[in-house]
Amino acid sequence: MKLIVIAPRGKMGKLITQAAAQRPDIELTAGVGPAGRDYIGKDLGEAAMTGQMLGVPVTDDLESVIDDCDVIIDFSTKETGMEVLECAVRHKKALVCGTTGFSPEEMEKFREASASIPLLYAANTSKLVNIMNRLLEIVTQAVGDEADIEILEMHDQWKKDAPSGTSREMGEIMARAMGKELKDIAVYGRHGACPRQKGTIGYHSLRAGNIPSSHTVYFGFMGERLEITHHSYNWECFARGAVDCAAYLADKGPGWYTIQDVLHLG
């Protein structure tokens, strides 16, 4: 399977490149970075700090290299993500996107694109996070109408969007399990007089230092509570998961795929 990595010097792009370079079933064909970056024109291995030369270039022009790939992995910015999506559709290439912060209208464009290309969007590509999502669904189906549900998520000081895409996905899963829409029941932080309303999902976002990723969902009852938590110690688990997603898409036809498909959690 031939793979292009977008933003190979980014915190995720770098680790994705390193993970892909270790797999015998994957051939890296190019990296694509923003114009003007000092690593454009260098070897992908050098740009992603893999410790070895990979013999493939980093370019700032996806159009020039896209025809020589099967799948694209994009963990960049929402602006770049939309450009990559449009290019993937034009060239009929499979796309794994893990970028977060897209508006509902932008996410609809991803949905529309899946009619013509294999597309997998995942706010979080960790195997354990997605197992946690399945647990959240099970618990909410059992006690969602009784529990006070609160989400606490922590990320590094550079995280741009709040709440995180992962915690939004968790909220959407629990809201669906209650037969509701997240937009109708989400409460973001609290200040002043704001008594808790039954049936809502509370969000709290912490941004500090270099915390990689931490998500805890609380199911509060009188006299007891249940907590389900995932902590990542670094971003390598997300990178390995992203590469697994790309390998999964390699032989698939057009359609909307999820990490649950990859992990057989459906």
Q: What is the pLDDT of residues 199-225, one digit of tens each?
A: 999 999 999 999 989 999 999 999 999
122 is in an annotated binding site: yes
Q: pLDDT at position 212, please?
A: 86
May I ask the CATH architecture of the domain 2-121+236-263? Answer: 3-Layer(aba) Sandwich (3.40)
The answer to whether the CB of 201 falls within 8 A of the CB of 174 is yes
124 is in an annotated binding site: yes
Query: Tokens for 260?
Result: 């649950």
Handedness of CA 157, 80, 238, 132 (dihedral sign): positive
Backbone angles phi and psi of 218, in degrees to 5: -105, 130
Q: pLDDT at position 56, please?
A: 94
Residues 6+ apart with CB under 8 A from 155: 164, 205, 206, 207, 211, 212, 213, 214
Please give the span between the terminal C-alpha atoms of the chain, in angstroms, as a whole number. Answer: 25
125 is in an annotated binding site: yes
**Could you say which residues of the chain have pLDDT below 50?**
none
Measured at the CA of 167, the angle between CA 164 and CA 173, to 5 degrees, comes to 145
- β-strand pairing of 118-121 with 71-74: unpaired
Q: 137 burial class (0-12, 13-18, 19+ CB within 10 angstroms)?
A: middle
148 by DSSP, 3-state: which? strand
* DSSP for residue 67: G
Distance (Å, rounded) from C-alpha 18 to C-alpha 26? 12
Residues that are catalytic = 155, 159
Q: pLDDT at position 266, please?
A: 67
Q: pLDDT at position 123, please?
A: 85
The continuous run of DSSP H or E covering 165 comes out as: helix 165-177
- At the topology level, CATH places domain 127-232 in Dihydrodipicolinate Reductase; domain 2 (3.30.360)
Backbone angles phi and psi of 86, in degrees to 5: -60, -40
29 is in an annotated binding site: no
| Domain map (residue ranges) of the chain | 2-121+236-263, 127-232
Look up the pTM and report it: 0.81
